[in-house]
Amino acid sequence: MVPVAGWFSCSAIAGPPMATDDAGVLAQGGWEYTLAYEAEQRDSGDSASAPSLEVAYGFNDELQGSVSIARATVDEPGSGSRSDFDAIGFEGKWQFYAQDNLSLAAVPSYSLPLTSSSTDRGIVDDVRVLSLPVVASWEQGAWTLGGQVAYEAASSGPNAWFGGIAGGYQASEALKLLAEVYQTRTVGADEDETNWTLGVDVAVAEGLAFLASVGGSLDSDLPDADELDQTWYLGFRYETR
């Protein structure tokens, strides 16, 4: 079975369309809606979340919460294409440090299958995942830099580590250019995967941004058929203040 959603997820530095998160939080009472198409291609099979929806709310200037849901589609050689609901995810973000140009946040999240039919049909794994990331964000002029380290504990294993570094450049008032390198490392197994992503964050109206990215593999210890060929992300983010 092909994994559809990664265990890992207004972005000051990263966040969608990147895999690496950022330490920014919504203002108190603010809402953020992200609607997207996400896909990845491997020789062992293709997968997509289309559409995927994430809704976030700012409880105060240091804490926000979010929930994400998607329609998952997998297409494996010899099995054809099938779709159902993806796992549902819940996330909190606590920005516990913010001084000068540096901010730090803890971003715990928990995901679990939404329907039994999606696991019975092999669309998503029947696994619960607790993610415990710490993220950092730094800004200087038009440049931004962010990093994330996370431990992913799965109910049926294997557990994993995630690490990512993302950078951004504000090329114009409306256009931000994004890039990242991130790695997943399976605990207790020689199964590391290092990938890259290039993306854009384009303001198209007040509170509305267009998000897009493309990515691929830099290095992988996975079997050849399971190595990442390419990822795509297309979406819109709308934020109320």
Among 43-47, 76-80, 105-109, 177-181, name the one with the lowest average pLDDT: 76-80
Establish how many alpha carbons lie within 13 A of residue 45's alpha carbon, considering only the half-sphere containing its beta carbon: 18
Cis preceding-peptide flag for 16 (omega within 30 of 0): no
CA 52/CA 37 separation, integer angstroms: 6
Among 11-25, 52-66, 161-175, 194-208, name the one with the lowest average pLDDT: 11-25
Q: Are 129 and 152 in contact (CB under 8 A)?
A: yes
Q: What is the pLDDT of residue 78?
A: 81
CA 85/CA 218 separation, integer angstroms: 30
Q: What is the pLDDT of residue 14?
A: 60
* CA angle at 14 for the pair 16 and 129, rounded to the nearest 5°: 60
Mean local confidence (pLDDT), 138-163:
95
In this predicted structure, the answer to whether residue 135 has a pLDDT above a threshold of 90 is yes
Q: Residue 207 gets which letter from DSSP?
A: T
Name the band, by pLDDT with cuts 50, 70 and 90, for residue 6: very low
Mean local confidence (pLDDT), 164-187:
97
What confidence tens digit (pLDDT) does each residue in 36-74 have? 999 999 999 999 999 999 999 999 999 999 999 999 999
Mean local confidence (pLDDT), 144-150:
97
Quote the pTM value. Answer: 0.90
pLDDT above 90 covers a percentage of the chain that reads 84
Q: Which domains does the chain have, with CATH numbers?
A: 31-239 (2.40.160.40)
Mean local confidence (pLDDT), 202-211:
97
Across the chain, mean pLDDT equals 92
In this predicted structure, the answer to whether residue 23 has a pLDDT above a threshold of 50 is yes
